[in-house]
Amino acid sequence: MEQIQARERRFNTLTKVVAFIAVLLAGVSAYAISRPSPGDSKTPSEKHADALPDKPNKPDPPAYEVRASVLGKRVKVSTATEPFSKPAPSTDVGCEEGKGTSVSYDFPAGVNIASHNARWDSLNNIKSHEAHSELKDHAVVATGSINGLDKQVFNCPGGGHGTLVVFGTLNRSTESSEPSPAIAIGTSELRKDTVTFSAPSDADLRIEKYRIEMRPQGSSSAFTPVDVPVSESGVGQIQQTQFGTAFRIDASGRTLKVTPVLN
């Protein structure tokens, strides 16, 4: 009886050992399946992503050779100094009589008053007089007064008179101009970013328009010109399509910008 029980215990122990080994082998097999092979560090999710079709890359925008120039005129300003004067009508006074008057000299645009004053001319039988001048808007105004002689015993001298005059010097400016040949202000490669050009800061240069010339990068074909007129303040804008690409050209003062309009 004891021998039979011993054999049963050995059989049960052997059965448990076999079951444990089966479980262990199943785990090792699963690990081997999920583990990357030697030299392959990609995970299954990465391998799945690699199996998907590649997305097409967006092509780089085309490149263009761009050169810029300015066209306008050279302006010369000359200044001449001239005297000016203007009399008022004669002012008449009697003895012990006083009177005031005024006269103005209007000057046009483009004229600067260098100096101004006032005086009395042709005075006769006058005891005293005064005069002064001032600038008011676009005029020089002179004001003044005169006083006749005092009364005398049994006599009142009359016939007092004088003429008020405004006078001074002015500077008159005149302009002369001549066309300026085109001035190159730079060459650049244009792709997707704005390129900027700077015009000369010469005070006598009046810019009338900018000129942009472009062609595909590396091409030997002729440049295609585009003119951008500007206002007196130097502002202008234009948008055009060249070689299948739209471009916006902005001028502001002495700065020019060229920007491709990309979709």
pLDDT by residue (tens digit) across 128-174? 999 999 999 899 999 999 999 998 878 888 889 999 999 999 999 88
Specify whether the CB–CB gap between 169 and 83 falls below 8 A. yes
Tell me the CA distances in angstroms from 152 to 60, 98, 147, 148, 155, one per residue in order. 107, 17, 15, 12, 5
> Does residue 40 have a pLDDT over 60?
no
pLDDT band per the 50, 70, 90 thresholds, residue 11: low
Eight-class DSSP state of 52:
S
- Report how far apart, in Å, the C-alpha atoms of 60 and of each of 54, 132, 192, 258, 262 are: 18, 77, 9, 18, 11
Question: Are 141 and 86 spatial neighbours (Cβ–Cβ below 8 Å)?
Answer: no
Residue 201's pLDDT is: 93
- Between CA 161 and CA 249 the distance in angstroms is 71
Give the predicted TM-score (pTM) of the model.
Answer: 0.53
Percent of the chain at pLDDT > 70 equals 78
Local confidence band at 35 (pLDDT 50, 70, 90 cut-offs): low
Sequence ranges of the domains in the chain: 2-51, 64-74+179-261, 78-174
If pLDDT is split at 50, 70 and 90, which confidence band does 232 have?
Answer: confident
- pLDDT bin (cut points 50, 70, 90) of residue 108 is confident
Beta strands in 88-159 (DSSP E): 91-93, 98-106, 111-124, 126-136, 139-148
pLDDT number for residue 3 = 62
| pLDDT value of residue 66 | 96
| 25: pLDDT strictly greater than 70 | no
Q: How far apart are CA 114 and CA 112, in angstroms?
A: 6
Mean pLDDT of the chain: 85
78-174: what fold?
Jelly Rolls (2.60.120)
Which one is predicted more confidently, 60 or 116? 116
Dist. CA 236–CA 248, nearest whole Å: 11
pLDDT at 13: 65
pLDDT at residue 41 in the model: 56
Lowest mean pLDDT among 8-22, 201-215, 247-261: 8-22
pLDDT in tens, 62-82: 899 999 999 999 999 899 999
Contact in structure between 158 and 147 (CB atoms under 8 Å): no
> Does position 51 have pLDDT exceeding 70, yes or no?
no
